[in-house]
Amino acid sequence: MTRHVLRGVLLCCALGVGACSKQAPEEVTSETVVPVTVAPAQRGSITATVHATGVIAAAPGAELIVVAPEPARILEIPKAEGDSVRRGDVLVRFEIPSSAAEALKQRAEIGRAQARLATAKLAQARARDLYERGVAARKDVEDADREIANAEADLQNARAAMTAAETLVSRSVVLATFDGIIVKRSHNPGDHVEPAAADPVLRVVDPRRLEVAASIPIGDAPRIRLGARATLVDAPEGAAPATLKVASSPAAVQTGTATVPVRVAFSGPVHYPVGTPVRIEIDAESHRDVALVPAAAVVHEGQETAVFVVADNIAHRRIVKTGLEDDQHVEIANGINAGDVVVTSGQNGLPDGAKVMVGDEKEKEKEKEKEKDQAEKPGAPEAGAR
């Protein structure tokens, strides 16, 4: 029994030695190559923008609001809402009973004053004649002179009152002061209206002189410069590109809001309806000769901001400090230099030191695979065949 056990042990050892003498299989490791796109960091200039909202409005002097000069009745409104008007066209005719009566009254006053003056002149001539003949006293001549002066003053006052009455009558007909469009008509012929801004009859606007009445956040107000360039965001489809410039500096906070009103004028004629809400971007501070990277290259991870730089197909994560930003680029204050190749897509979740395949190499690989597939197709020409 012992001999058989010993023989089995020796056999097992021999088998074990033979197994141990075999070479262990080689350990294979694989590393994923991440496809990315890249772009070089460049030196250049960048301008920050202030985002604001506003409405299309008429510029100063490009709007006429017709209000009755006195309580009146509308006789005529030739134009309808949306119609064009030319300078000098009749906009509204009012019937103002008080002004017509006042004009008649002042005409009568002028007639009385003229008659009084004529009588005073005759009396003056008679008094002087009698005085020269020694019949009348010097005082009679002086009284006649005084009557003429009073009659002339009355006539002058009557004429001034008549001018005022005629001015009021003339205001019963309102003419267009510029070429424009009627954007609002609030009354019709026959309506009685009051001389109040709260009761307008017509609103006329010159469409060639429009601007944006913008509301700027208080925090951005110090960044707004008079004459700064601005652009319209989300312009209506088919509309020509419009450029603007700041026409007024922030001066006072709008009541009940946290914004400051600023006028932003169009650089040329535009065709936007008055009252249209819009969004604009106003150029603020600028930095020149700074390092710039595409906005897509910047990664925000918690409290850190990073950019991946590619060297020898290895992506290196660098912590950076950013500066100004616009729609396309970000200023890098420190962390990279101009000429560094930065990752613009594919960097999400990318570890530091990962192997990458940039866009150009990726395209080459695809092209090689495409050529290989075509070569393997039946009847495909051999390489080099003509």
| Residue type for position 303 | Q
Instruction: Check residue 369 and give its pLDDT.
Output: 64
Domain range spanning residue 121?
97-169
Answer whether 268's CB lies under 8 Å from 52's CB: no
What CATH number does residue 238 fall under?
A: 2.40.30.170
Instruction: Check residue 29 and give its pLDDT.
Output: 39
Answer whether 299's CB lies under 8 Å from 308's CB: yes
- The answer to whether residues 273 and 331 belong to one domain is no
Q: Examine residue 272 and state whether it is found in any structural domain, yes or no.
A: yes
Answer whether 201's CB lies under 8 Å from 67's CB: yes
Beta strand 90-95 with 180-185 is: unpaired
5: left (phi over 0), alpha (psi -120 to 50) or beta: alpha
Instruction: Check residue 21 and give its pLDDT.
Output: 45
Q: Examine residue 256 and state whether it is found in any structural domain, yes or no.
A: yes
Question: How far, in Å, are 55, 144, 221, 251, 313 from residue 261 at the CA level?
Answer: 11, 67, 9, 8, 52
Q: Note down pLDDT in tens along the chain; length 386 residues.
A: 444 443 444 344 444 444 444 444 444 334 688 999 999 999 999 999 999 999 999 999 999 999 998 888 999 999 999 999 999 999 999 988 766 666 677 788 888 888 888 998 888 888 888 888 887 788 888 888 888 899 889 888 888 887 877 777 677 889 999 999 999 999 999 999 999 999 999 999 998 899 999 999 999 999 999 999 998 887 666 666 678 999 998 888 877 788 999 999 998 778 788 888 999 999 999 999 999 999 999 999 888 999 999 999 999 999 999 999 888 899 999 888 889 999 999 888 889 999 999 875 455 555 556 666 666 665 555 544 43
Last residue of a domain, one of 285, 309, 330: 285
What is the number of domains present in the chain?
Answer: 4
Beta strand 180-185 with 202-205 is: antiparallel
- The answer to whether residues 280 and 212 belong to one domain is yes
Name the β-bridge partners of 216: 260
Q: Examine residue 239 and state whether it is found in any structural domain, yes or no.
A: yes
Instruction: Check residue 291 and give its pLDDT.
Output: 93
What CATH number does residue 154 fall under?
A: 1.10.287
Rounded CA separation 207/78 (Å)? 20
Which residue bears the tokens 């006053």? 109
Nearest C-alpha neighbor of 341 from the set 361, 365, 367, 327:
361
Q: Examine residue 4 and state whether it is found in any structural domain, yes or no.
A: no
**Cβ burial 28-55 (10 Å sphere, 16+ → b, else e):** eeeeeeeebbbeebeeeebebbbebbbe
- The answer to whether residues 355 and 298 belong to one domain is yes
Q: Examine residue 80 and state whether it is found in any structural domain, yes or no.
A: yes
- The answer to whether residues 152 and 114 belong to one domain is yes
- The answer to whether residues 73 and 201 belong to one domain is yes
Instruction: Check residue 139 and give its pLDDT.
Output: 86
Rounded CA separation 64/83 (Å)? 14
- The answer to whether residues 75 and 194 belong to one domain is yes
- Beta carbons within 8 Å of 91's beta carbon, 6+ residues apart: 66, 77, 78, 79, 85, 174, 175, 176, 182, 202, 204
Q: Examine residue 374 and state whether it is found in any structural domain, yes or no.
A: no
Is 229 exposed, middle or buried, given 0-12, 13-18 or 19+ CB atoms closer than 10 A?
middle
Instruction: Check residue 239 and give its pLDDT.
Output: 63
Instruction: Check residue 17 and give its pLDDT.
Output: 42
